Amino acid sequence: MAGGEKPKFAMYWAAGCGGCEISMLNIGERILAVDEAFEIVFWPCAADFKRDDVAGYPDGWIDLCLFNGAICSTENEEMAHLLRRKAKLLVAFGSCAHEGGIPALANLTTREEVLRTAFLEGPSIDNPRSLLPELHCRVPEGELEIPALKSRVRTLDQVVPVDYAIPGCPPEPPQIWAVLEAVIRGAELPPPGGTRVIGAGHLAVCEECPLAKSEKAIERFYMPHEIVPEPGICLLEQGLVCMGVATRSGCGALCPKVNMPCRGCYGLLDEVEDQGANLVAAIGSVIGAGAAGQSDEELERRIEAVIDTLPDPAGTFYRYNLARSLLHRARVAGDGAAKGGAK
């Protein structure tokens, strides 16, 4: 920044869907202010810089790097290490970099199973010769090498130290802008040290949600396509698995405001170590079945009957955060995973 030079900006896309890049562009015409304030030195989605350009930069030369996507391959890992070395501020941008995101659901199964689903068994797959990617292959021009998948998907900060995280799938444009604007203005960010969450709130989504809340006693769960919710009333009370109770605010409760249950993308709250476990606590205790005076068998039958209406609890509660959970992944040799289901 010395000598009137503009601060250097980088953005990288690892194992993610690209929604973070779109959300970045959704800050609208203020993207011009970003271009004005920063010198873009690496942003594969938007500008033509290559990995070798970055490798040639001096260490610590990039002022701000927004890193989106989880770490699922050797390539993601290499870029994480490279960008950590080159960037002063490395920010885990979005759910995948911060908590593993949707890619981390692969941690419920094995790498082999993931490859089989993606290349052989997916309903839209047309692969008559049953070809699977090979790490090395010979072509007339020489040997090609592709990155290897790691055995589990990790968050960015499980691979390199990270300064800040901006949560969300994707982060909401006003939150992105608030952070960029603070950096441009030279405002003081929270003291670094561990992964500090910026660009989000510190309360649960329920605090931002305008729906009327009262006593909850869920007699059965519904998938969003199974009911048309009553307007104006808490979705969890109506049996929709709304995860706002254990999800960080900052999105403005966008989903519940349009009658879609919160999917939990803003991630775990401060002081929480495992969002999925917290959802078990919050949603489990408002199951409206079981009362004193019933026999143990009857209690079990009644409570299990309600839980039976909630398919795939692990995939639901850990939708965005399995890599960041206490256990990180499933143990696939164990009985539940071998049978592939919760029951």
Partner 1 sequence: MSDSYEPVIVGFLCNWCSYRAADLAGTARMHYAPNMRAIRVMCSARVEPQFVFKALREGADGVLIAGCHPGECHYVEGNIKTLRRYYLLKRLVRQLGIEAERVQLCWASASEGNVLAEAVNRMTAQLRALGPLRWRQTVLSEDGEESAAAPVAVAKEV
Residues interacting with partner 1, by CB under 8 A?
A: 108, 150-152, 154, 157-161, 194-195, 272-274, 276-278, 280-281, 283-285, 287, 289-294, 296, 299-300, 303-304, 307, 310, 312-315, 317, 325-338, 341-343
- Enumerate residues 6+ apart whose C-beta is below 8 A from 322: 100, 104, 105, 107, 108, 153, 276, 314, 328, 329
Comparison of 8 and 324: residue with beta carbon closer to partner 1: 324
Q: Which is nearer to partner 1, 108 or 179 (CB)?
A: 108
Question: Could you tell me the smallest distance in angstroms from the CB atom of residue 140 to partner 1?
Answer: 33
Write the secondary structure of the chain as one string of H (helix), E (strand) and C (coil): CHHHCCCEEEEEECECCCHHHHHHHCCHHHHHHHHHHCEEEECCCCCCCCHHHHHHCCCCCEEEEEEECEEEEHHHHHHHHHHHHHEEEEEEECHHHHHCCHHHHHHHCCHHHHHHHHHHHCCCCCCCCCCCCCCEEEECCEEEECCCEEEEEECHHHCCCCCEEECCCCCCHHHHHHHHHHHHHCCCCCCCCCCEECCCCCCEHHHHCCCECCCCCECCCECCCCCCCCCCECCCCCCECCHHHHCECCCCCHHHHCCCCCCCCCCCCCCCCCHHHHHHHHHHCCECCCCCCCCHHHHHHHHHHHHCCCCCHHHHHCCCCCCCCCCCCCCCCCHHHHHCCCC
Nearest distance, CB of residue 204 and partner 1, angstroms:
16
Q: Distance (Å, rounded) from C-alpha 93 to C-alpha 83?
A: 13
Nearer to partner 1, 6 or 150 (CB): 150
- Is 182 or 272 the residue whose CB approaches partner 1 more closely? 272
Q: How far is the CB of 82 from partner 1 (least distance, A)?
A: 15
Tokens found for residue 328: 């990180």
Q: Output the smallest distance, CB 52 to partner 1, in A.
A: 25
Shortest approach of partner 1 to residue 77 CB, angstroms?
9
Give least dist CB 273 to partner 1, A: 6
Nearer to partner 1, 152 or 263 (CB): 152
Select 18 or 194, whichever has its Cβ closest to partner 1: 194
82 or 303: whose CB is closer to partner 1? 303
Kindly report whether the peptide bond that precedes residue 170 is cis, defined as omega within 30 degrees of 0.
Answer: yes
Between 125 and 217, CB nearer to partner 1: 217
For residues 97 and 44, the answer to whether their CB atoms sit within 8 Å is: no
CB of 257 to partner 1, least distance (A): 27
Which lies closer to partner 1 via its Cβ, residue 34 or residue 159?
Answer: 159
Nearest approach, Cβ of residue 32 and partner 1 (Å): 36
> Distance between CA 217 and CA 175 in Å, rounded?
34
Find the shortest distance in angstroms from Cβ 36 to partner 1: 34
Q: For the chain, how long is the longest CA-to-CA vector?
A: 77
